[in-house]
Amino acid sequence: MLVAMEKEIALQAHYLDDRAIESIYFGGGTPSLLEADEVSRLIDAVGGHFDIQSDAEITLEANPDDLNNAKVAAMRSTPVNRFSIGVQSFFEEDLRWMNRAHNAVEASGAIQRVQDHGYQNITADLIYGYPLLTDQKWSQNIERLLDFGVPHISAYCMTVEPQTALASFIRKGKQTPIDDGQGATQFELLMDELAAAGYEQYEISNFAKPEQYARHNSNYWKGVPYLGVGPSAHSFDGYSRQWNVRNNASYIRAIQNGVVPYEREELSEADRLNEYIMTALRTLWGLNLDYIDAQFNASYSGAVRAGLESLVIRGEVTLLGKVATLTKKGKLVADRVAAELFVD
């Protein structure tokens, strides 16, 4: 797999048009299974074909149970300078309900070990809106992360995907259905508690201390082109989107034959505008009408302006000059707000 990924990097060397690399993110699956020398090997492969900025953000997504003392110590020899730790909860019964591999002790220990080895740039994930999580427990989860002083927190509402065990259990009455009202209440609690602690909600699900936003994620929401490497990886060049085959064996076989096995979707002007609306509205930078005027057909711009007027009246969007941002009320229904502004 590593050989194939190195070869894909070489095959895709011109995908980003010589754009300097601001961030590298090891995510999807369980990249913390990689040894330190394997991580360095892949970063070296990127550096062999792309210009990596000297201050690039290089993140390793990790499960807490993988971050033992030896693993974290070994990572000090690599260019990795940021960890994304999938804590999810600090309560044992909740982790078991989620079928997570780690336990509550490992959730805390992973953060502490990473900090003890000198890593300050850390983000941790939490999940809310599931039946076992009372508002009191949710506040305790948030407080635990604040006590650790992690500069970045990502929090996601539990969703039930079709064809999963949880979906089946709910359908058969073996699990309590997800309560949207609970999720909304806990989202508001999250926004209030992190704002009081000095964190900025720079994207709906992401909170950071001032000037410590995740560069990698921010670039996604700003529409910056990116290259994904490996099975299932997605790439975006500004005008098209492509995604690699999901099957590991098929991926390796194709790469060995010098072919990147992907499907590609060309984005129409309306597609690109709708993606901009969807991503920009999620951020504190908001949707910029001047940008829409400059980049898209004038008829589209008029339609977006008309849609914003009713959203402002409903109190779901604030329009300051030419920039539209979601209100607290709007953040609770962000997907619906964006969909109302989409153009045909």
Mean pLDDT within 169-195 = 88
pLDDT at residue number 98: 87
User: What pLDDT does 254 receive?
Assistant: 98
The domain made up of 20-220 has a fold known as Transcription Regulator spoIIAA (3.30.750)
Report, as an integer, the average pLDDT of 148-159: 95
pTM of the model: 0.93
3 pLDDT band (50/70/90 cuts)? very high
Q: Alpha-carbon distance 12 to 85, whole Å?
A: 29
Which pLDDT score, from 0 to 100, does residue 274 have? 96
pLDDT score for 178: 77
Longest dimension (CA), the chain: 59
At the second CATH level, the architecture of 269-341 is Orthogonal Bundle (1.10)
| Beta strand extents in 230-286 (DSSP E only) | 234-236, 240-244, 262-266
Whether the per-residue pLDDT at 30 is higher than 90: the answer is no
pLDDT band at 174 (very low <50, low <70, confident <90, very high): confident
From the CB of residue 196, how many other CB atoms can be counted at a distance below 10 Å?
Answer: 9
Q: Map out the domains of the chain as residue ranges.
A: 20-220, 269-341
Per-chain mean pLDDT for the chain: 94
**Residues with Cβ < 8 Å from 102, sequence gap 6 or more?**
63, 64, 65, 95, 110
Q: Given this model, what pLDDT does residue 210 score?
A: 95
Say whether 128 sits in a helix, a strand or coil: strand
The model's confidence at residue 297, banded by pLDDT at 50, 70 and 90, is: confident
How distant, in Å, are the alpha carbons of 1, 135, 191, 254 from that of 248?
A: 8, 41, 40, 10
Residue 155 corresponds to which tokens in the numbers above?
């929090």
Residue 334 pLDDT: 95
Q: How confident is the model at residue 109 (pLDDT cuts 50, 70, 90)?
A: very high
The answer to whether 144 and 85 have CB atoms below 8 angstroms apart is no
- pLDDT 10s digits, 242-294: 999 999 999 999 999 999 999 999 999 999 999 999 999 999 999 999 999 99
Q: pLDDT band at residue 130, thresholds of 50, 70 and 90? A: very high
Residue 165 has pLDDT above 80, yes or no: no
Count of residues making up the chain: 344
- Which helix (H) or strand (E) is 148 found in, with range? helix 135-148
Exposure string over 269-296, b if 16+ CB within 10 A, otherwise e = eebbbbbbbbbbbbbeebbbbeebbeeb
State the pLDDT confidence band at 11, using cuts at 50, 70 and 90.
very high
Higher pLDDT, 320 or 159: 320
pLDDT at 285: 96
Token code pair at residue 140: 């305790």
Q: Is the dihedral of CA 193, 198, 203, 208 positive or negative?
A: negative
Secondary structure (3-state) at 327: coil
Give the mean model confidence (pLDDT) for residues 186-191: 98
State how far the Cα of 134 lies from the Cα of 69, in Å rounded to an integer: 33
